[in-house]
């Protein structure tokens, strides 16, 4: 009777080499991502609190505050695809395609109320989106609400 002898001596070193190569490739990819700045283009989330109130046919946007309020330049309110923007110093929003930056020394303050006049009707709901434009050039949606 013939006995076959199994040779398993080479299995462990081969698996070890494969694991070492995989770890090296993963480390090289992570280091390359940091060196070439792949993660540096991510913009941070802006935080500004707003509230909306209906008043007959008017819509009022109230500034509630937030850490990014000093960098807020203007608000763009879209009501059923119609844009209204904050003006340079006015508290009444006017129909416009783009906002006007606040004048020097005229920043948004907690408690400021901006009104879109005669934009709502009594029947039906309106979809309202508020976008803030900040001093770093970034636009961010701050509020999306069905009134």
As a whole number of Å, the end-to-end CA separation of the chain is: 90
Residue 11 pLDDT level (bands cut at 50, 70, 90): low
Model pLDDT, residue 22: 95
Give just the sign of the alpha carbon dihedral 136, 139, 143, 147: positive
- The percentage of residues in the chain with a pLDDT greater than 70, rounded to a whole number, is 81
Q: Residue-wise over 11-26: b if at least 16 C-beta within 10 A, else e?
A: eeeeeeeeeeeeeeee
User: What is d(CA 143, CA 72) in angstroms, rounded to the nearest whole number?
Assistant: 14
Taking residue 112's Cβ as centre, other Cβ atoms within 10 Å add up to 15
What region does 38 belong to: left with phi over 0, alpha with psi -120 to 50, or beta? alpha
Per-residue tokens: 78? 């879209």
Mean pLDDT, residues 2-30 taken together: 81
More confident call, 69 vs 126: 69
The four Cα atoms 47, 53, 54, 60 give a dihedral, to 10 degrees, of -70
Whether the per-residue pLDDT at 28 is higher than 90: the answer is: yes
Token pair 């509020």 in the structure block, residue: 143
Q: Which of 5-14, 51-60, 100-109 has the lowest mean pLDDT?
A: 5-14
More confident call, 100 vs 107: 107
Taking residue 96's Cβ as centre, other Cβ atoms within 10 Å add up to 14
* pTM, full prediction: 0.67
Token pair 């069905």 in the structure block, residue: 146
């Amino acid at each position: 009777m013939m006995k076959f002898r199994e040779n398993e001596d080479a299995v462990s070193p081969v698996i070890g080499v494969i694991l070492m190569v995989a770890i090296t490739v993963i480390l090289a990819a992570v280091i390359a991502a940091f060196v070439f700045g792949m993660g540096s283009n991510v913009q941070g989330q802006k935080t500004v609190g707003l509230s909306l109130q209906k008043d007959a046919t008017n819509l009022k946007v109230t500034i509630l505050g937030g850490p990014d309020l000093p960098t807020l330049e203007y608000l763009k309110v879209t009501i059923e695809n119609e844009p209204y923007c904050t003006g340079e110093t006015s508290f009444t929003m006017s129909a416009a395609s783009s906002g006007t930056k606040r004048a020097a020394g005229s920043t948004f303050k907690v408690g400021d109320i901006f009104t879109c006049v005669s934009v709502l009707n009594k029947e039906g709901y309106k979809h309202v989106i508020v976008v803030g434009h900040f001093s770093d050039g970034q636009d961010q949606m701050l509020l999306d609400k069905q009134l």
